[in-house]
Amino acid sequence: MTRQGNLTQGEKLTLLKAGFLPHEIYEFDFAYSRSGPSWLSVNPGQNINFNASNFQDMIKHRIEYVDKLKRLGFSKDQVALRLAMYYQHKASKRSVFDFLQIESSPSQRQKPLSDLTMLRVRTKRERVEQTMGGMYGKKVRPVKLPRNIPKQAEAPPRK
């Protein structure tokens, strides 16, 4: 049985030209769905929407990042080492999907409603910034979260 990935050869080549490392492409190609890996004939793989705006933004920002590093005098190998640093020697579980998640912007109709959601977004963004530098991807815009603070109970009148 041959392993069938989620990405086509053209999509893999596009990612490789954009500066993605081979193991990052492999992670996208053989991403598991909840039902199991894509290479099992019974279980379909993760549905990777290559044409989604956040996926295309991730590719665009990777191209810009690699170009900036090359303009600063980094060689192709140094750029690859810099990208690989994100995954090395870290206690937290990091994956290529972190880059995809920082590109996702919440819908205008559906704002994040909790501090925890924003904390998770900022934590991932800071991890990427600490390893790759502040020039990778787009910035997290400050969001005013709605607060449901009940009115203070009025004191009963004095007699």
Report yes or no on whether pTM surpasses 0.75. Answer: no
Q: What is the pLDDT of residue 18?
A: 94
> Helix/strand/coil (H, E, C) string of the chain?
CCCCCCCCHHHHHHHHHHCCCHHHHHHHHCCCECCECCCCCCCCCCCCCCCCHHHHHHHHHHHHHHHHHHHCCCCHHHHHHHHHHHHCCCCCCCCCHHHHHHHCCCCCCCCCCCHHHHHHHHHHHHHHHHHHCCCCCCCCCCCCCCCCCCCCCCCCCCC
pLDDT in tens, 116-157: 777 788 888 888 888 877 777 666 666 665 566 666 667 666
What's the pLDDT band for 100 if we cut at 50, 70, 90?
Answer: confident
Q: Can you give the residue ranges of every domain in the chain? A: 1-49, 51-140
